[in-house]
Amino acid sequence: MGYVKKRVRKTKTSDPDEFVSIYQRTLDWARDNLNVVLYSGVAFLLVILAVFGLMWSRANRDRAAGEALDTAVATYQSRGYGEGTSDSQAVKDGLKQSLKSFRAVSSQYPRTRQGNSATLYAANILFRMTSFSEAAAVLEDLISHEPEFSRRLQVSYLLGRAYEGGKEYDKAISVYGRLLENSGVEMRPVLMMDRARCFDLKGDRKQAADTYRSVVKDFADSVFSLRAKSQLAILGESAEESP
């Protein structure tokens, strides 16, 4: 007895009933989970709005901080307080006013690029006003909280000068020494001369003379060598090491 072999489909075909079923299941799920869908959508929109809000707020804050800093710098420079001596009372009063302006910027925009720059300006003004201990305290705080900013602008060097101005020679020598360990060739003679000067000021003439001699030896063809020889002459020391 013969039979007819049933043909088997090799590829799956689209069944309209199948699409209807999937669509219906999707509608059923959406209806059953309507609150989840709504809350998820709202949450997503809130996140997007928050991100854009933060970006807009930060942009406005940066712009306002930049304008405040520019105003303080322009006033400082236009009145001539950035140059010359600070002996006259008019200059002293002007420096105090500029110091107040820069402190206002750094206080209103703390730990920002503009705020940090304002803090550095304030420290420079304190240095010019011979308020060395106060300048050193400001710089120490800046270095502690903003190490990358301080490294790029060599804030530690100004700290060393503030220590030196305040007659804290051991601290200044330590700062110059740390900078010397990581400095390029262009800064080495400067830092060596600074250390030698501090050794001399603290009364350690031998260490001062040895440091000056190192400058003469290491930078023989530079202006620093001539300056070091001049300082050695003032100390009554020879530029050559004693046998």
Across the range 151-178, mean pLDDT stands at: 96
For position 12, what pLDDT does the model report?
52
State CA 209 to chain mean position distance: 36
Portion of the chain with pLDDT greater than 70, in percent: 71
Average pLDDT, the chain: 83
User: Half-sphere exposure of 238 toward its Cβ, with a 13 Å CA cutoff?
Assistant: 4
Inform me whether the pLDDT recorded for 56 exceeds 50.
Answer: no
Asked if residue 239 has pLDDT above 90, the reply is no
Whether 60 contacts 86, CB under 8 Å: no
Task: Give me the pLDDT at residue 23, please.
Answer: 59
- Which residues neighbour 76 within 8 Å (Cβ) at sequence distance 6 or greater? 82, 98, 101, 102, 121
Q: Is 79 helix (H, G, I), strand (E, B) or coil?
A: coil
Cβ within 8 Å of residue 226, ≥6 positions away: none
Alpha carbon distance, N-terminus to C-terminus of the chain: 127
- Domains 27-76+89-153 and 167-243 equal at CATH topology level: yes
Q: Which residue has the tokens 């003679």?
A: 189
State both tokens at 6: 């049933």
Q: How far apart are CA 153 and CA 132, in angstroms?
A: 19
The torsion angles phi and psi of 166, rounded to 5 degrees, stand at -85, 10
DSSP state letter for 242: P
The amino acid present at 109, given as its one-letter code, is: Y
Q: Which of 84-93, 111-120, 161-170 has the lowest mean pLDDT?
A: 84-93
Helix (H, G, I), strand (E, B) or coil at 87: coil
Identify the burial level of 112 via C-beta atoms within 10 angstroms of its C-beta, where 0-12 means exposed, 13-18 middle and 19 or more buried: buried
Ordered by start, the domain boundaries in the chain are: 27-76+89-153, 167-243
- Please give the average per-residue pLDDT across 118-146, as a whole number: 96
| pLDDT value for 161 | 97
Instruction: Check if the beta carbon of residue 117 is closer than 8 Å to that of residue 69.
Output: yes
CATH number of 167-243: 1.25.40
What's the pLDDT at 61? 76
Q: Which CATH architecture has domain 27-76+89-153?
A: Alpha Horseshoe (1.25)
The pLDDT, as a whole number, for residue 19 is 47
Specify the higher pLDDT residue, 84 or 146.
146
Phi, psi of 179 (to 5 degrees): -65, -35
177-235 pLDDT tens trace: 999 999 889 999 999 999 999 999 999 999 999 999 999 999 999 999 999 999 999 99
Torsion of CA 70, 71, 77, 80, to 10 degrees: -170
Q: pLDDT tier at 59 (50, 70, 90 boundaries)?
A: low
